[in-house]
A = this chain, B = another copy of it.
Amino acid sequence: MKQNEEIFSWESWVTIPTNSDFSLQNLPYCIFSTPNNEVKKIGVGIGEYVIDLNQMQQLNAFDTFNLSENFFLKDYLNDFIGLGKQITNAIREKIMIALKKENGTENNILFHHQKSILLPQKNLKFHLPVKIGDYTDFYSSREHATNVGTMFRDPNNALLPNWLHLPVAYHGRASSIVVSGTDIIRPYGQTKAADAEKPSFHATKLLDFELEMGFIIGKNTKLGENITTAEAENHIFGMVLFNDWSARDIQAWEYVPLGPFLAKNFASAMSPWVVVMEALEYFKVETPAQSEVLDYLKFEGKKSFDIQLEVFIKPQNSEEKLVCKSNHKYLYWNISQQLAHHTINGCNMNIGDLCASGTISGSTPDSFGSMLELTWRGSKPILMHDNTERKFINDFDTVIMRGFCEKNGHRVGFGEVNNFVLPAK
């Protein structure tokens, strides 16, 4: 099923508020549980509801798919993703058709049993949607790499020599990736001031967010196999919002020569919703112009996505302040190039693996994707609505990231990733 113009003209019998991320054309997946039951289940977002897929299966709505009993009672989406796109897309199509306005009739299982199948999101608990085997973080925003290179190295040679030739990336920690809503504890660590003789030990003073998105691998490959740019999207199940929490003072001291470690692995946060690639098809755009690349990084057609991104800081007793507006389409390297590069040496991929984009900054100062860049190392603090200033993130702040596609009045969104910051223990 292609997300073509026709589908975007469909309406649903479910009431979908204006500006809802969870339109009929989206149907993102999540893992949820209900207040009185710890069992985790696979759900699909629609408007202000989650569709309980287990309930649908019990009512025989999926009998044509030969799924095992209680298939949707799962801690993670991995087994569902493992069914393959042919089946997962057919299930999604079945749900989409059942939600169409003209199918709001009593002989439609979903409509008839809507009281037991459609659960209000506000009553539910959301969990990390995938079991992440390996987590890779790219560094694919030219503006971000340029900003960092300008601040910490040489403004005249801000990009390192390899940057325009390959999508730079490094491996991150999978165990400390948490779902939106999880509190972040300010980490301790070693830092060294430039003028200090010795390092010192304290809670980070420069806690920061990084506005990122990630894609979830949808197919296993074997060691020695590689994935071409043409094939890449078939190997990707969907995308998520991602906050790569960072401690800048720890990072500056530890990161040579092998990259960031404790400055990142204390926590990263993911949206509970995985938006499938098929829902994003309609919002594809051209990738920014590139210098010449080696053959395995060449690609044809539209491989970038127009996904509007926003970051807000909410001080404890104040309103949210919008501090950044960016867009996934600003990324210099598209996700097909990222995956082609990652596997060109035969590195194997597993279902549920996460590849994040790196900080997504635009070209204007209000589009930078981290406090490091927005306040230019703290030299330009940002005023909150309660008149306090932020150079970096304070204890008891909440950082909220939102993302959505919008075109011709149609919206497909990612919900949000938000985290409240607790003081160091």
Q: At the interface, yes or no: A14 with Cβ under 8 Å from chain B?
A: no
A223:B185 contact, CB within 8 angstroms:
yes
Give every chain B residue within 8 A of A256 (Cβ-Cβ).
160, 162
A345:B187 contact, CB within 8 angstroms:
yes
A168:B254 contact, CB within 8 angstroms:
yes
Bound: A353/B178 CA distance, A: 18
Stretch of A65-73, A120-128, A188-196 with 4 or more beta carbons under 8 angstroms from chain B = A188-196
Q: At the interface, yes or no: A365 with Cβ under 8 Å from chain B?
A: no
Q: At the interface, yes or no: A308 with Cβ under 8 Å from chain B?
A: no
A167-225: which have CB < 8 Å to B? 168-176, 178, 185, 187-190, 192, 198-201, 223-224
Residue of B nearest to A250 (CB): B345
Stretch of A17-25, A44-52, A262-270, A396-404 with 4 or more beta carbons under 8 angstroms from chain B = A262-270
A interface, how many residues as a size bin? 35 or more
Bound: A162/B262 CA distance, A: 14
A218 CB, min distance to chain B CBs, angstroms: 15
Q: At the interface, yes or no: A296 with Cβ under 8 Å from chain B?
A: yes
**Contact of A162 with B254 at beta-carbon distance under 8 Å, contacts A262-B347, A344-B188, A344-B189 already known:** yes
Q: At the interface, yes or no: A346 with Cβ under 8 Å from chain B?
A: yes
**Contact of A165 with B187 at beta-carbon distance under 8 Å, contacts A174-B133, A296-B201 already known:** no
A18 CB, min distance to chain B CBs, angstroms: 38
Residue of B nearest to A262 (CB): B345
A258:B294 contact, CB within 8 angstroms:
no
Give every chain B residue within 8 A of A172 (Cβ-Cβ).
171
Q: At the interface, yes or no: A89 with Cβ under 8 Å from chain B?
A: no
A120 CB, min distance to chain B CBs, angstroms: 29
* Majority DSSP secondary structure for residues of A touching B: loop
A294:B201 contact, CB within 8 angstroms:
yes
Bound: A353/B190 CA distance, A: 23
Q: At the interface, yes or no: A3 with Cβ under 8 Å from chain B?
A: no
Residue of B nearest to A341 (CB): B262
A319 CB, min distance to chain B CBs, angstroms: 29
A167 CB, min distance to chain B CBs, angstroms: 10
- Interface bits A324-355 vs B (CB < 8 Å: 1, else 0): 00000000000000000110111111100100
Bound: A46/B32 CA distance, A: 48
A42 CB, min distance to chain B CBs, angstroms: 22
Give every chain B residue within 8 A of A199 (Cβ-Cβ).
162, 165-166, 294
Residue of B nearest to A165 (CB): B199
A265:B296 contact, CB within 8 angstroms:
no
Q: At the interface, yes or no: A10 with Cβ under 8 Å from chain B?
A: no
Give every chain B residue within 8 A of A353 (Cβ-Cβ).
175
A150 CB, min distance to chain B CBs, angstroms: 13
A341-378: which have CB < 8 Å to B? 341-342, 344-350, 353
**Contact of A258 with B257 at beta-carbon distance under 8 Å, contacts A185-B224, A199-B165 already known:** no
Give every chain B residue within 8 A of A265 (Cβ-Cβ).
171, 345, 347
**What 3 pairs across the A-B complex have the smallest Cβ distances?**
A259-B259, A187-B345, A170-B258
Q: Given A262-B344, A346-B425, list of 18 further CB < 8 A pairs?
A: A160-B256, A162-B256, A165-B198, A168-B257, A168-B258, A169-B258, A169-B261, A170-B259, A170-B261, A175-B349, A185-B224, A189-B344, A189-B345, A200-B294, A201-B294, A201-B295, A223-B267, A262-B345
